[in-house]
Structure 1
Amino acid sequence: MWTKLIAAVLLLLLSSETILSANSLNVALNDDVLGLMVFKADIRDPYFKLSTWKEEDDSPCKWFGVTCDPYSNRVTELHLDGLSLSGHISKGLLRLQFLHTLSLSRNNFTGFISNPILTQIIKNSQVIDLSENGFFGSIPEPLFIQCGSIRTISLAKNKLTGQIPDSISSCLTLQNVDLSSNQLSGGLPKSIWLLTSLRSIDLSNNFLEGEIPKEKIETLFDLRVFNFSSNNFSGELPEKIGECLLLKSVDFSDNYLTGTMPLSLQKLSLCNVLNLRGNYFAGELPEWIGSLKSLEFLDLSVNNFSGSFPASFGDLESLKSLNLSLNQFTGNLPESLAKCLNLTVVDFSRNLLTGTIPVWAFSLRLKGVSLSGNQFIGTVEFGEETAAAFDTLEILDLSSNSFSGVIPLSIGNFSSLVFLNMSSNGLIGSVPPSLGGLKAANVVDLSHNWLNGSIPAEIGGAALLNELRLDGNFLTGSIPAQIENCSVLRTLILAQNNITGSIPVRIVNLVELESVDLSFNHLSGSLPKELTNLSNLVTFNVSHNDLEGELPLGGFFNTIPLSSVSDNPSLCGSIVNQSCPGAHPKPIVLNPNPSHSDKGSSSLNLSHKRIILSISAIIAIGAAVFIALGVIVVTILNLHVRNSVSRSAAVALTFSGGDDFSHTRSPSSDYGKLVMFTGDAEFVSGTHALLNKDCELGRGGFGVVYWTALRNGRSVAIKKLHVPGLIKSREDFDREVKKLGMIRHSNLVLLEGYYWTPSLQLLINEYVSSGSLYKHLHEGNSENTLSWRERFDVVLGTARGLAHLHRMNVIHYNMKSTNVLIDCSGEAKVGDFGLVTLLPSLDRHVLSSKIQSALGYVAPEFACQTVKITEKCDVYGFGILVLEVVTGKKPVEYMEDDVVVLCDMVRGVLDGGRAEECVDRKLKADFPIDECISVIKLGLVCASQVPSNRPDMEEVIKILELIRCPSEGHEELE
């Protein structure tokens, strides 16, 4: 009996416990549901990817992107990558007590990375991936101090600023760190090597600087991936980097590193990728490089390496890609590479290499062969051993060498060839008809050779051609009508030949044409009227021909530059300022009352004219004979010197690794010095046409800006400085421009290079396609005006660009809306910065009148000789620009009987409580008035008359970020 009673009591107790456990579990599951629904409520889901999330569900384990533990049914992982979600990360996620993996990459989340909610999530998680979003601000110290057991963190491709905090060394469990593609700056914490569990670290594409810490790098026993590329690191590589024996990928490209390759690198027998591109490494390549048996990708381009190639290259049997371009290597190509059977791409361009093309170049089934810009000789032949490459070769660049002989007919057998460049050699013979067999070719460039004969009609068989260049040869005959079969052709350059006949009417069917140059030929006939239908034309040059008739009217031809049609004596139209003859000749008027005396006089005059005509004819004939003989002599001389002259000109603009900053070889003093900071550059029209007035983009206090294109199709902006009397010496100019070239930021126009002669100085800048802020504010119509959100983004981007300049100790001096450009994605880019440093010491008057020519932006301290000019003068100009963006009005506007100063007008309206009247009327009614007023007030503070009352640009950025997200900076956890 007692036994049964005890059993009954135990059964009752167990049942109660089970009920309590079930209730607790239900509460926990409901907590996960509630947390995720709160998270969902605070975000935008444009494609309804989270439609399966319903608050009435008992468990979220079957929801999209949710992973639960199979035993407890608690949420452990949340994967919502690439769903276009936006908004802010809310407190709801803090309810997920067992969440250890959060992946929200490739979305549009925004907010401060210092948000305490994120800090708490990171503290409790093991894997965090917030890459490719819009998080901004600096990384706070607490983010890593309380990092718990986190193993992986990725904040790549956001808008993070500031330094990497020292507290990162507290996360001893960290295995993978990815902070790439942000705007981080400052030095690298020395304590980072304390993370001995690291397997992968990626800090690429930032603005980190200083030397790479050398202390205890060898303690990273588990490190596999080491990526510090595209920063501003200097000094030498840590000598013991090779002690990290498990390294598989090493990338320090695009920095300012010097010295030689550390000896310890030879220990990396597991390394697949070694990329040291774009630094200042020097010396010869060591023989031990062949010990890197696992190497698949080797890029040592754009450095100062020299000497010949080690024979041990042949030991790299796993090698797939080899890039040694833009160095100073000499000698022949290594024959030992024939043993590298896995090679697919080789690039030896822009060195000092000699000899002939080795057999392995066409027998290894390569996809890309680039040998341009060397001193190779001999003929180009595709023998039996080439058959292996006929199906695989996609890129063949033999340009700018000394190859001779004819182009083999078998060139047409390369069925996969996409890019063919054999320009600037000594090739002779005709253009092979077999080019029509290049069915996959996008680019064919045979320019600047000695080719003769006509353009083969078979060229129409290359139906995918985008670009055809045959200029600078001795081609004759006419332009084949079959060119119309190249229906996607965009660039057609046939200039400087002896082509005759008319321009085929069928060329008007090439609707994609953008650039056409048929100048310096013997074309005749009239221009097809239908050319006006080519809506994509950017350039169309037919100058120096024998064309006749009326220029087409309409489209591009209404504004065609005079230089593009000049020296065609029989062309007529308004562009050439020559009227076309009418349909009827003028009537002959006779004297109705002739007299005998008139007749006698007329006979005498006619006889006199005949005598004069005879003498004139004799003189003209003699002159013609003399000129003809002169032309023959000059032509013969030109044939002898043409090649050497073209080589000399090429030397003046040849790139390599000689210059201590630009990786360019300094030419002789007789030529201009062209220095590129961002790699190679060949201009489509040559340097003689860089300053085409018809391609003028704008004018400023420093000079005129022109548009031009590089050979690879990329556009650049050329600024011709027009203060040569004030320019510093060559050495000072070089030094100051190189400093400006080192400044890189997503909100600054990139300085890509410069050109120097004593009488001409050019700055080569990134081309920003959508024009200036001034154009968008004052020259557009109300239909395509900038929205408030776009204006706010421009103001914030401008502030970030200026702040970075100030961090680099650079004062802009010329802040105005014409110097703020907007790219195709709406991002603001500040240009024309720091140009005053190119000049010697100038007084305030010169700076105010010449450099700061835009009325209304000049800080008042410029008028006082005793006040020091600081970054605060940029802040003043920025403040005026902010008011200009909000109001849509210019800093100073002239009325019929009054002058309106924007700053004073805004202050008056604001003091009167009528702030809404300040806002640009072109803005739609749904803009946030509170944000507008806050931005106006910030602009007025920045434009304070007293420099010390103005905030610095870092403070301005924080204020703008708070204006956009007012609650985020103050949000507290409940």
Structure 2
Amino acid sequence: MKSLYLGGVWICLLSFLFQLAESGTTTLNDDVLGLIVFKAGVQDPHSKLSSWNEDDDHPCNWAGVRCDLKTNRVTELNLDGFALSGKLGRGLFLLQFLETLSLSMNNFSGSLSPDFFRLERLRSLDLSANNLSGAIPDGFFGQCRSIRDISLAKNAILGKIPHDVGSCSTLAALNLSSNQLSGPLPSEIWSLNALRSLDLSYNSLAGEIPGGISKMFNLRTISLRGNRFTGQLPNDTGDCLLLKSLDMGENQLSGDLPESMSKLSTCSYLSLSSNSFSGEVPAWIGAMNGLETLDLSRNRFSGRVPSSLSNLQFLKVLKLSENNFSGSVPDSLAACRSLLDVDLSQNILTGVLPSWVFESGFEQIFLAGNKLSGPIAIPPVTDSTLQVLDLSGNAFSGKFPLEISSLRSLKYLNLSFNTLSGSIPFSVGELKTLEVLDVSWNWLTGKIPLEVGLARSLKELRLEKNSLTGEIPIQIANCSSLAYLDLSHNNLTGPIPETLANLTNLQIVDFSQNKLSGSIPKQLSDLPHLLSFNISHNQLSGDLPAGSFFNKISPSSVTDNPSLCGSIVNISCPAVLPKPIVLNPNSSSPGPSSNTMFSPSNVSHKKIILSISALIAIGAAAVIAAGVITITVLNLRVRANTSNSAAALALSDEYLSHSPATDAHSGKLVMFAGGDPEFSAGAHAVLNKDCELGRGGFGAVYKTVLRDGRSVAIKKLTVSSLVKSQEDFEREVKKLGKVEHPNLVTLEGYYWTPSLQLLIYEFVSGGSLYKLLHECSASNALSWQERFDIVLGIARSLAHLHRHKIIHYNLKASNVLLDGSGEPKVGDYGLAKLLPMLDRYVLSSKIQSALGYTAPEFACRTVKITDKCDVYGFGVLVLEIMTGKRPVEYMEDDVVLLCDMVREALEDGRVEECMDERLCGKFPVEETIPVMKLGLICTSQVPSNRPDMAEVVNILELIRCPRDSQEEELC
């Protein structure tokens, strides 16, 4: 208490001295006083300000402080990266001779104050990378006097840019990037004719970019990247003749490029990526002969790549990816003598691979995702500098080029998704710097060359989806940096090499869909970074290695190896038994056996073998026989009890009208809404096979009619042996009965006896979503609007359940019903809580019966089952609704997971091909792609990466946001 009291007195004293200093009635050094007042208001966890002593005559020797040598007055305060926090106190405003104030990379909070500009000599203000918030106050820029440099980047400042920003006539650099600024760009900003650098990137500024930029005749760099600007670039953009860097990427700009830009002959950096510019790239682009970087990627440009690019002799980086460029890869690019990186991927280029790709000087070539064809012909080269070559996703054919070894500097080689044939040449081993080799999804045959082990820098080796044969070479273990190894979907045979245990950096291994045999090396359990090890669909045998990873490996990663055993595959491993005991009748060793059992009077003189395994088998047979008898007796009793219960139910209607009181013969019936629940057709209707609607993981469902004419659905639980006690059962069911939502099937009541439990639901007439997706003709197929509404309805129902701390556990298309108006209603929610314990293996096998919806954490006992399991199932369901395909499709010789198929299509820009063909192309792409991406995010392997269902609902509502002008503001 005493220390708190003294601290309060000290603060009060400092405040009093501060007021004296402002009034001019004290002789204390203003700089010392101001800095001590500032220090008192901040937290200094690393004692960076320990040298600040109030007893000093001046602060010129303090950390972060610089003074004028003649006057000893503070001219610069630089506390960058001191990890300070707190508010920016008034003490700073006493530093009347301060010229530079830099407090970046700290944790200062609070809002901005225009009082900074009371410091008449201030030239540079840097408050970037803090936690400042609130709007820029009116008048903040109006008092900026003679300041030259302002940086408020990387904070949480919001609101609009004030119109008085044009008042800072001396401002040379303004950086407001990475904040939350919104609204239009004020035209007054073009009045800053002394401005040389303007950075407003990564905010939420919107609207059209106003004209008038030509007034900024001193402007050198401008970045408006990462905002929401629309419309065209201003026509006078090219009138800033001194402009060296222009970055308008990641906006919503469209139209043609203004011809005035041809005058930007000194511009070295131009990025218009991730917009909607269209048409052909004009030939005058070659007049911007100072360009070193040209980035027009991710737009809608079409036509041929302009040959005038050959005029750009200083060009180093050219990015034209993800457009609609056609024609051949222009040979004119070879004339760009400085060119290092070329990215023309994801276009519709045709023709053959030009030879200049391999010429000296180029470092990175990306041509993936085009329609290039013919062989990959590598000319004889001795001085190649090529480090990255990506030719994936084309139609290249012919042999894997043997001359690949001449590319000595190569680090990344991707030839996947082509039609290359023949074998992998041994020359790949000569690529000593190669880190990534991807030749997956080709027609390669033959063995994996032993020389691959010579490429010791390899970090990623992908050979999947080929027709490779032979064994996995043990020499792969020489690639000590290898982290990703995928040899799946080939015809490899033989064992898994023990030497793989030497690859301590391994994270992902996939040997699935081969013909591997033998046991899994125990040494693999020592791999410290292993995240995934897929050996499914092989001929492996024996038990899995013991270890932290293999103890929790997903069952899907080891499935379809008939001879594998262990708890993961639910097959007991045979015990290791000693050799049988052999008793020799001719043995001369003394003992009772030679005098009794094998006496000379025995007729047979053959060896008699009494093995321990035989004794165990005899004992086991006896136990099994006893078990069969016991089970038979128990089954007879259970059948008798069940028959009695069913008979009682079928013969008596009285139990249906009883009040909720327990009766040994009639059971207990409860209807949550009250009223007379008697069935008009009698109790036998509940068990009538003709009234059955379907069967699920928990039991059969029947339709019947109440006396008032209302139809209901009755679920007869078939997990009676697992259901909790009556008290626990009723508590859980009543909890479910209180959860009401328009998109949930209402639970109206229940019936209980120890041997029979019924759940009474509202009857939903429209059938299941599964039937509509997979059993309906094209004429009755769901429209895009209906599918989106169903997705949104399901999301809302799950969000409602999760708010009430209820996990569905069993989300799938057959558990989503549609009412007469097409509104989705989710059923079977929360029933897993009726089990005595939430055993994930019981859930996986009994309840999660639909393959493909189950979250991966169900396979791991150490991971907590949460509502993120529902999010995973929802994500799969979204993709199922969009594509009309089942979560798992079984092909003739392959198994395709819907998530993987959509993810690959999304990466290749083929999402539209995934949509249900019954839609006949009638869907809005601007809604389709975000919904697909949302589905994939929900199916993330890591639960924490999946959004909450409440967030999912918000995202879907934003995607559905009306686009007409009258409703735009509401969005």
Q: Which amino acid aligns with 1:378?
A: G
Alignment partner, residue 261 of structure 2 = 265
What does 1:419-818 correspond to in 2, within 5 Å?
Answer: 419-583=412-576, 585-586=613-614, 693-694=855-856, 698-700=868-870, 704-705=874-875, 734-736=925-927, 754=932, 762=935, 764=937, 771=944, 818=948
Higher relative contact order (CA 8 A, sep 6+): 1
- 1:140 is the counterpart of 2:140: no
Decide whether the 8 Å contact of 1:100 with 1:124 is kept in 2.
yes
What is the distance in 2 between the residues matched to 1:221 and 1:50? 43
What is the distance in 2 between the residues matched to 1:473 and 1:509? 26
Per mean C-alpha deviation after superposition, the further-off stretch among 176-185 and 103-112 is 103-112
C-alpha displacement at 1:356, in angstroms?
2.1
Q: 1:369 to 1:701 in 2, by over 3 A?
A: closer
What is the distance in 2 between the residues matched to 1:133 and 1:94? 19
Decide whether the 8 Å contact of 2:856 with 2:941 is kept in 1.
no
What is the distance in 2 between the residues matched to 1:103 and 1:840? 43
Alignment partner, residue 248 of structure 2 = 252
Q: 1:301 to 1:695 in 2, by over 3 A?
A: farther
- Helix, strand or coil at the partner of 1:372: coil
Q: 1:731 to 1:229 in 2, by over 3 A?
A: farther
Alignment partner, residue 69 of structure 1 = 68
Alignment partner, residue 91 of structure 2 = 92
C-alpha displacement at 1:48, in angstroms?
4.0
Decide whether the 8 Å contact of 1:131 with 1:156 is kept in 2.
yes
- Helix, strand or coil at the partner of 1:531: helix
C-alpha displacement at 1:156, in angstroms?
0.5
Q: Which amino acid aligns with 2:87?
A: H
- Helix, strand or coil at the partner of 2:874: strand
What does 1:130-529 correspond to in 2, within 5 Å?
Answer: 130-214=127-211, 216-384=212-380, 386-389=381-384, 392-529=385-522
> Number of matched residues?
641
Q: Which amino acid aligns with 1:260?
A: D
- Helix, strand or coil at the partner of 1:388: coil
Decide whether the 8 Å contact of 2:156 with 2:179 is kept in 1.
yes
What is the distance in 2 between the residues matched to 1:186 and 1:105? 26
C-alpha displacement at 1:279, in angstroms?
0.5
Per mean C-alpha deviation after superposition, the further-off stretch among 300-309 and 429-438 is 429-438
Q: 1:45 to 1:321 in 2, by over 3 A?
A: same
- Helix, strand or coil at the partner of 2:409: coil
Q: 1:358 to 1:737 in 2, by over 3 A?
A: closer
Q: 1:164 to 1:555 in 2, by over 3 A?
A: same
What is the distance in 2 between the residues matched to 1:275 and 1:839? 31
What is the distance in 1 between the residues matched to 2:961 and 2:89? 55
What is the distance in 1 between the residues matched to 2:857 and 2:224? 39
C-alpha displacement at 1:836, in angstroms?
5.1
Q: 1:711 to 1:475 in 2, by over 3 A?
A: farther
C-alpha displacement at 1:839, in angstroms?
8.3
Per mean C-alpha deviation after superposition, the further-off stretch among 494-503 and 536-545 is 536-545
Alignment partner, residue 12 of structure 1 = none
Alignment partner, residue 956 of structure 2 = 835
- Helix, strand or coil at the partner of 1:143: coil
Give unpaired runs (5+ residues) of structure 1.
Answer: 1-24, 591-688, 742-752, 756-760, 774-816, 821-829, 842-870, 875-974
Decide whether the 8 Å contact of 2:874 with 2:938 is kept in 1.
no
What is the distance in 2 between the residues matched to 1:269 and 1:302? 24
Q: Which amino acid aligns with 1:148?
A: R
What is the distance in 2 between the residues matched to 1:163 and 1:700? 40
Decide whether the 8 Å contact of 1:547 with 1:571 is kept in 2.
yes
C-alpha displacement at 1:363, in angstroms?
1.4
Alignment partner, residue 112 of structure 1 = 111
Q: Which amino acid aligns with 1:359?
A: S
- TM-score normalised according to structure 1 size: 0.61
What is the distance in 2 between the residues matched to 1:38 and 1:710? 62
- TM-score normalised according to structure 2 size: 0.61
What is the distance in 2 between the residues matched to 1:690 and 1:351? 34
What is the distance in 1 between the residues matched to 2:126 and 2:466? 57
Q: Which amino acid aligns with 2:232?
A: E
What is the distance in 2 between the residues matched to 1:728 and 1:377? 33
- Helix, strand or coil at the partner of 1:161: strand
C-alpha displacement at 1:366, in angstroms?
1.5
Alignment partner, residue 601 of structure 1 = none
C-alpha displacement at 1:300, in angstroms?
0.3
1:605-664 alpha-carbon deviations (Å, 9 max, x no partner): xxxxxxxxxxxxxxxxxxxxxxxxxxxxxxxxxxxxxxxxxxxxxxxxxxxxxxxxxxxx
Decide whether the 8 Å contact of 1:698 with 1:705 is kept in 2.
no
- Helix, strand or coil at the partner of 1:555: coil
What is the distance in 2 between the residues matched to 1:173 and 1:165? 17
What is the distance in 2 between the residues matched to 1:235 and 1:329? 22
C-alpha displacement at 1:76, in angstroms?
1.8
Q: 1:58 to 1:312 in 2, by over 3 A?
A: same
Alignment partner, residue 38 of structure 2 = 39
Give unpaired runs (5+ residues) of structure 2.
Answer: 1-23, 578-612, 620-850, 859-866, 877-897, 963-968
What is the distance in 2 between the residues matched to 1:250 and 1:728? 43
- Helix, strand or coil at the partner of 1:312: helix
- Helix, strand or coil at the partner of 1:145: coil
1:77-104 alpha-carbon deviations (Å, 9 max, x no partner): 2222223333322222111111121111
Q: 1:257 to 1:710 in 2, by over 3 A?
A: farther
Decide whether the 8 Å contact of 1:124 with 1:147 is kept in 2.
no
C-alpha displacement at 1:560, in angstroms?
2.7
What is the distance in 1 between the residues matched to 2:388 and 2:60? 51
Decide whether the 8 Å contact of 1:89 with 1:117 is kept in 2.
no
1:384-414 alpha-carbon deviations (Å, 9 max, x no partner): 3x3332xx32211111112223333442344
- Helix, strand or coil at the partner of 2:345: coil
What is the distance in 2 between the residues matched to 1:221 and 1:734? 42
Decide whether the 8 Å contact of 1:444 with 1:467 is kept in 2.
yes
What is the distance in 1 between the residues matched to 2:614 and 2:382? 70
Q: Which amino acid aligns with 1:472?
A: K
Per mean C-alpha deviation after superposition, the further-off stretch among 62-71 and 87-96 is 62-71
Decide whether the 8 Å contact of 1:302 with 1:325 is kept in 2.
yes
Decide whether the 8 Å contact of 1:361 with 1:369 is kept in 2.
yes
Q: 1:272 to 1:109 in 2, by over 3 A?
A: same
Q: Percent identity of the aligned residues?
A: 47
Decide whether the 8 Å contact of 1:481 with 1:506 is kept in 2.
yes
Q: Which amino acid aligns with 1:313?
A: L
1:426-445 alpha-carbon deviations (Å, 9 max, x no partner): 22222222323333333210
Alignment partner, residue 77 of structure 2 = 78
